[in-house]
Chain A
Amino acid sequence: MFDHGQPSYAEVNKDILSTMLETGPKYWMLLGMTMSVAGICFFMPWIYQLFVGVGAAGMNHNAVWGSYLSNFIFWIGLSHSGTLLSAVLHITNSPWRKSIYRSAEAMTLFSLMTAALFVMVHVGRVWFVHWSFPIPNEMGLWPNFRSPLMFDVMAITTYLTASSIFIYMGSVPDFAAVRDASTGLRRRLYTIFSFGWRGTAREWHTLGWAYTFFAVFVIPLAVSVHSIVSWDFALSAVPGFHHTIFAPYFVCGAIYSGTAGIVTVMYCLRKFLGFERYIGQVHLDSLGKLLITLSLIWSYINILELFTTWFGGTSYELEALSFRLTGFYAPLYWEMLIFCAFVPLLMLFKKIRLSWNKMLLISVLINIGMLTERFIIVATSQPRKFLPGAFGFYVPSWIEISISVGSFAIFVTLFLIFIKWVPAISIYEVKETLKPLRRNV
């Protein structure tokens, strides 16, 4: 479990709390940098787009959905393993979950927020976006409950709420630890955050069952969210979207990219926050095995998708398929296959699974592949639907590319703020994994 020897209880507190309580100039520089990148690359183009209209992006009459939507799916996908993985591993009693789950859940939260931002960027009149919520109004109007987008609004807000509660509930004892270790304003704040946690047996018991309850509650929710995102596509008749396999395909792809995202985040936490002691080979090994499994499932579903399209044999579907495999965006398609289906097979070797640098590279490649997968789904199917006379083409504009880059900066900014407010590793659960101290007799 621990690569560099087992820490004592006091050391656990000290190591993890120091990342919150001690802030160096490097942190501020990094935060300033990501915030300015987010401002310049994301918010400034967006404000420009708000003034002129969505025409600032590269979409056109034939391709009304573009990279904003593919980015939206990507971020929703990335959100998928945090809470889901944490919940599944909690129920299956896997001890290696304990030092990584807090950051993974934070990842869920922040990528969901980034995804929600992309919805705002995508729609034509964002100032009316609240109409998609069932808010009572003087016209007596409801949203359309037949619309998959409506399901989406419901599913994502529910998932966001449930994940927030899940991560908060798991952090309460740690907030108490922060309270006990700090003074002044911070102490008063964390007194409120920790709900007056004292660590009595009853409190631990209540937390335990509440946490397990939420873990069970969150799992179907997570599966439903990405199924519903896939229905935005699959419920249309568009060739290339209209597959029954889409729901499991998206869920599997989401967990896949999310797990790869966790590896990337683990690497950064270890490197920059000095968590070498807590995040070790066992985590890397387990995540690597999980990634191989997911990559195999993902490849299988991809083959199935190709097969059913070919087997269906309608001219629309075959046309869409041949454009995807050999058309303008074909290089992206084959790149996706290499990054998501073949490169991960390297992890079959234990040597590669245990090397941090190689795993970082593979995990980043997987996420690049998944990003292009979503782009291909949006950009190759929907501009070429049924009528050849209305076939179109789509290339993202520089504004779209800039906003995509900026979204990563937003994610990192949120994460940087997070590590100063919440212990990035669960203190009390790490302590649970320590072997009992030997008593000097």
Chain B
Amino acid sequence: MSTFVEKLRQYSKPGYYDEFDYHWTMTIDLDRCTGCEACVVACQAENNLPIVGEERFAQSREIKWIRIERYWEGEYPNIKMGFIPMLCQHCDDAPCETACPVYATYHNQDGLNTQIYNRCIGTRTCAVYCPYEVRYFNWFTYTWDEPLEQQLNPDVSVREKGVMEKCTFCIQRIRIAKDNAKDDDRRRVRDGEVVPACVQSCPTEAMLFGNSKDPEAKVSKMMKNTRGYTVLKDLNTTPSIVYLKKVHA
């Protein structure tokens, strides 16, 4: 009976973990974001995102793991424009994780919300439950015209039709960094060793990525900024992405 109670207690924790190894976190400084969409292109190249074509784009079936949302404040001519790069928030209490009937999406040891393409049966419940709408479904099997298939990233799987996909925080880069750390007989990955494609490509350095369990990491310091907030905080999803509010002069 006691083991049963223990099991229950264990199950009530997000991802069933007492503690994460790393807690990968991102901060996005909206004051620095110019909406150039370099991150969108970088993500497209890094993660083998298909180019769906004009027609399917018009049907809003494009796949962009990170997208720039535009918001306007005020009326013309006193109009102010703001951008929010929206990507998977890797919520600690992710609504999508409870939804999947086959465990295709779950929380891993690094505090990442992961998607297992091979396990996905395509009920699309996770996408409905996601308040940020950052989960993308493969409506078709997409192909790459020659010679574009040559530039596919060998570290990332190509997805087939009927599978849900989303931002992974470039998990392939995290894995490589952890492997390197292990090879060097170091115990931990150093701060700045993992850089996702979007962070790497940001010309204004609006994005920062790191392990928030390390108090010395740049990202942990940036998170404490008074401008910091998380999107849709009232839904209590505890996202891993902290946005820094844009300050209007």
Contact A123 B162 (CB under 8 A): yes
Contacting residues, chain A, for B61 (C-beta < 8 A): 55, 60-61
Contact A61 B131 (CB under 8 A): no
Contact of B128 among A54, A60, A64 (CB under 8 A): A64
Q: Is A387 an interface residue (CB 8 A)?
A: yes
Given A54-B139, A54-B161, A124-B161, CB of A387 within 8 Å of CB of B133: yes
Contacting residues, chain B, for A52 (C-beta < 8 A): 140, 161
Q: Is B71 an interface residue (CB 8 A)?
A: yes
Interface residues on A, range: 35 or more
Contacting residues, chain B, for A237 (C-beta < 8 A): 95, 129, 131, 235
Report A's interface with B, CB cutoff 8 A: 52-55, 59-62, 64-65, 122-126, 128-129, 131-132, 141-144, 146-150, 153, 232, 235-238, 382, 385-390, 392
Q: Is B60 an interface residue (CB 8 A)?
A: yes
When A and B form their complex, what is the total count of cross-chain residue pairs whose Cβ atoms lie within 8 Å?
A: 137
In the assembled complex, the Cα of A419 lies from the Cα of B122 at a distance in Å of 37
Residue of A nearest to B236 (CB): A237
In the assembled complex, the Cα of A62 lies from the Cα of B138 at a distance in Å of 13
Contact of B120 among A59, A125, A236 (CB under 8 A): A125
Contact of B127 among A53, A64, A129, A131 (CB under 8 A): A64
Contact B132 A386 (CB under 8 A): yes
Q: Is B123 an interface residue (CB 8 A)?
A: yes
Given A62-B60, A124-B162, CB of A148 within 8 Å of CB of B99: yes
Contacting residues, chain B, for A143 (C-beta < 8 A): 101-103
Give me 6 A-to-B residue pairs in the complex whose CB atoms sit less than 8 angstroms apart, sorted by A's number: A53-B162, A55-B61, A61-B60, A125-B163, A129-B121, A141-B103
Q: Is B98 an interface residue (CB 8 A)?
A: yes
Distance (whole angstroms) from the CB of B74 to the closest CB of chain A? 15
Contact of B71 among A124, A144, A238, A389 (CB under 8 A): A389
Distance (whole angstroms) from the CB of B120 to the closest CB of chain A? 7
Contact A132 B86 (CB under 8 A): no
Given A53-B141, A131-B119, A144-B102, CB of A149 within 8 Å of CB of B235: no
In the assembled complex, the Cα of A143 lies from the Cα of B125 at a distance in Å of 14
In the assembled complex, the Cα of A150 lies from the Cα of B123 at a distance in Å of 11
Contacting residues, chain A, for B124 (C-beta < 8 A): 59, 64-65, 124
Contact A125 B140 (CB under 8 A): no
Report B's interface with A, CB cutoff 8 A: 56, 59-62, 69-71, 84, 86, 95, 98-103, 119-125, 127-129, 131-133, 136-141, 161-164, 231-232, 235
Given A54-B162, A123-B162, A237-B95, CB of A386 within 8 Å of CB of B101: no
In the assembled complex, the Cα of A131 lies from the Cα of B100 at a distance in Å of 11
Contacting residues, chain A, for B137 (C-beta < 8 A): 54, 61, 64, 124
Distance (whole angstroms) from the CB of B28 to the closest CB of chain A? 15
In the assembled complex, the Cα of A144 lies from the Cα of B101 at a distance in Å of 5
Given A142-B103, A232-B125, CB of A61 within 8 Å of CB of B235: no
In the assembled complex, the Cα of A131 lies from the Cα of B116 at a distance in Å of 14
Contact of B125 among A62, A147, A386, A392 (CB under 8 A): A147
Known: A60-B139, A147-B101. 17 other contacts (CB 8 A): A53-B139, A53-B161, A54-B161, A55-B61, A61-B60, A123-B121, A124-B163, A124-B164, A125-B161, A126-B121, A149-B125, A236-B99, A237-B95, A238-B129, A387-B69, A387-B132, A389-B86
Contacting residues, chain B, for A382 (C-beta < 8 A): 128
Given A53-B140, A123-B121, CB of A131 within 8 Å of CB of B102: yes
Contacting residues, chain B, for A142 (C-beta < 8 A): 103
Contacting residues, chain A, for B101 (C-beta < 8 A): 132, 143-144, 147, 149-150, 153
Which of A59, A147, A150 counts the most B-chain CB atoms under 10 A from its CB?
A147
In the assembled complex, the Cα of A340 lies from the Cα of B27 at a distance in Å of 50
In the assembled complex, the Cα of A52 lies from the Cα of B101 at a distance in Å of 24
Contacting residues, chain B, for A55 (C-beta < 8 A): 56, 61, 139-140, 161
Contact of B99 among A149, A388, A389 (CB under 8 A): A149
Distance (whole angstroms) from the CB of A177 to the closest CB of chain B? 44
Contact B140 A389 (CB under 8 A): no
Contacting residues, chain A, for B70 (C-beta < 8 A): 389
In the assembled complex, the Cα of A148 lies from the Cα of B97 at a distance in Å of 11
Distance (whole angstroms) from the CB of A225 to the closest CB of chain B? 16
Contacting residues, chain B, for A385 (C-beta < 8 A): 131, 133
Contacting residues, chain B, for A389 (C-beta < 8 A): 69-71, 84, 86
Contact A149 B123 (CB under 8 A): yes
Contact B71 A60 (CB under 8 A): no
Distance (whole angstroms) from the CB of B59 to the closest CB of chain A? 5
Which of B59, B98, B99, B102 counts the most A-chain CB atoms under 10 A from its CB?
B102
Contact A124 B122 (CB under 8 A): yes
Contacting residues, chain A, for B141 (C-beta < 8 A): 53
Residue of A nearest to B102 (CB): A131
Contact of B138 among A53, A131, A146 (CB under 8 A): A53
Contact of B121 among A59, A125, A390 (CB under 8 A): A125
Contacting residues, chain B, for A60 (C-beta < 8 A): 59-61, 139
Distance (whole angstroms) from the CB of A145 to the closest CB of chain B? 9
Contacting residues, chain B, for A232 (C-beta < 8 A): 125
Contacting residues, chain A, for B62 (C-beta < 8 A): 61
